[in-house]
Amino acid sequence: MSSTEVLVRDAAAVRFITLNRPETKNALTVPVNAAVRQAVEGAPPAGARVVALTGAGGAFCSGLDLKWAAAEGLDTNTVEERMRTHFHGLVRALRSCPLPTVAVVDGVAAGFGCDLALACDLRLCSDRARFGEIFVRRGLMPDGGGTWTLPRLVGLGRALEMCLTGDMVDAAEAKATGLANRVFPVAQLEAAATDFLRSLAAGPPLVHRTVKAAVYAAMESSFDAALEAEVRGQLKLLASQDFMEGVAAFLEKRPPHFTGE
């Protein structure tokens, strides 16, 4: 893989990861996946508070690079190993990252590219963004966690429709159904997303980590278990320096400066 196919930049406590294969609409290969996963997993020790994933050249990600896959071989054992280790490994890394993860989507997010965006916690989109579980058009099913993430975002019926038809969803519908969190005019996406990401990174990192863990755990637990997790999390946060800073900033009528302690 060329060292320029995945760009990594840290600024204002945000780790920006850019898929940089615009000639393929940022299609994925095993080396590209490995580089993105390494960048995601390396974000917390590097001091990042937010991870942002985006694509270059007016596209987010068109999914697997089929030409690359065909050249590398499509026998069952090879495909299974790639799927489990490299593709599932990448979406697992995003889901398990303790930091907020944000997909910044301009243009197409299709196939595994759609699942990649869904694996992030939030999705900021341009008004020309399009999402599609297009696997069915190739005689396949979603294989990047879309069968789990999509129904939880848009509901069972809409998720099944997307997976069974392969139809693309535009930015307006994505926003209306909860697939996209925010939509901006394409000319404003970069600036608006950067402002959002920097504002998020300025927030209390202990709270972000605790809330993210609690919300995902609650999706698979009972109401009583969720309440118990809130008690444990809140007691931990009440003992933090960031809580004291938040109270002091409120009383002193100034912005808080959170350190994660």
CATH at residue 197: 3.90.226.10
Q: Is 178 helix (H, G, I), strand (E, B) or coil?
A: coil
C-beta of residue 181 within 8 angstroms of C-beta of residue 153: no
Across residues 105-112, what is the average pLDDT?
97
Domain count, the chain: 2
Residue 216 has pLDDT above 90, yes or no: yes
Q: Give the pLDDT score at 2.
A: 59
Same domain, 173 and 68: yes
- Find residue 74's DSSP bridge partners: none
Q: Give the pLDDT score at 71.
A: 80
Same domain, 128 and 176: yes
Q: Give the pLDDT score at 163.
A: 96
Q: Give the pLDDT score at 51.
A: 98
C-beta of residue 61 within 8 angstroms of C-beta of residue 120: no
Same domain, 77 and 195: yes
Q: Give the pLDDT score at 78.
A: 79
Same domain, 231 and 187: no
- The span from the CA of 6 to the CA of 219, in Å, is 32
Between the CA of residue 124 and those of 63, 183, 196, 212, what are the distances in Å?
19, 6, 9, 18
Neighbour tally for 125: CB within 10 Å: 30
Same domain, 91 and 123: yes
Residue 50 has pLDDT above 80, yes or no: yes
User: Out of 17-26, 73-82, 91-100, which region has the weakest mean confidence (pLDDT)?
Assistant: 73-82
Domain enclosing residue 221, as ranges: 205-252
Same domain, 173 and 232: no
Residue 68 has pLDDT above 90, yes or no: no
Q: Give the pLDDT score at 77.
A: 74
Q: Give the pLDDT score at 94.
A: 96
C-beta of residue 236 within 8 angstroms of C-beta of residue 250: no
Same domain, 115 and 220: no
Across residues 236-240, what is the average pLDDT?
94
Specify if 136 maps to a domain.
yes
Same domain, 17 and 96: yes
Q: What percent of the chain has pLDDT over 90?
A: 89
Same domain, 149 and 85: yes
Residue 1 has pLDDT above 60, yes or no: no
163's enclosing H/E stretch is helix 156-165
Same domain, 137 and 212: no
Across residues 94-109, what is the average pLDDT?
97
User: Out of 8-17, 116-125, 241-250, which region has the weakest mean confidence (pLDDT)?
Assistant: 241-250
DSSP string, 84-143: IIIIHHHHHHHHH-SS-EEEEE-SEEETHHHHHHHHSSEEEEETT-EEE-GGGGGT----
Q: Mean of the per-residue pLDDT values for the chain?
A: 94
Same domain, 68 and 183: yes
Across residues 40-45, what is the average pLDDT?
97
Domain boundary among 162, 177, 201: 201
Residue 148 has pLDDT above 60, yes or no: yes
Residue 180 has pLDDT above 70, yes or no: yes
Same domain, 92 and 130: yes
